Amino acid sequence: MRLAVASGGIAFVISALSLSAQTPATSARAYSEGPVTVMSYVRTKPGMFERYMEYLNGQYKQSMEAEKSAGLVLGYAVHTSAPRTPQDHDLILSVTYRNWAAFDGLADRSDAVANRARQNTPRQRDQEFIDRAAMREVLGTRNYQQLLLK
């Protein structure tokens, strides 16, 4: 009796495996996973758009170019859009990474690269953060992964 139950269980496993072996064509995806882009939605404070753009063209660009040269990021961009409401963003900062694994240990690696590129102290970085807060408000961020159609 035990042999019959065991052989019945084995037959079930074999039939389940054979069914799954027949379905790769139906489960194959029509896309592959591509790079990941982080979009930061920013609202510049009244009268601060040009000043914030100067920061982006200076220190921000210098840091991003250093991270790009170090292979931490694939690219970055600055986009503008007309706000639909007084609370809406007027800038989007995008940074593109190779994949989700690029985020592992990213803060330490990007800090090291930025520190070498800009050669500033923690106190200077704190002051820069305060200065940026006077120019803009970050409304939030979203992560997007590109799906590459095959």
Q: What is the mean pLDDT of each run of 10 residues along the chain (150 residues)?
A: 53 51 66 98 97 96 95 98 94 98 94 83 84 96 98
CB 87 within 8 A of CB 43: yes
Q: pLDDT digit string (tens) for 3-44?
A: 555 555 555 545 555 555 555 555 699 999 999 999 999 999
Domains and CATH numbers, the chain: 31-149 (3.30.70.100)
CA pair distance 43, 86, nearest whole angstrom? 9
pLDDT at position 111, please?
A: 85
Q: What is the pTM of this model?
A: 0.78
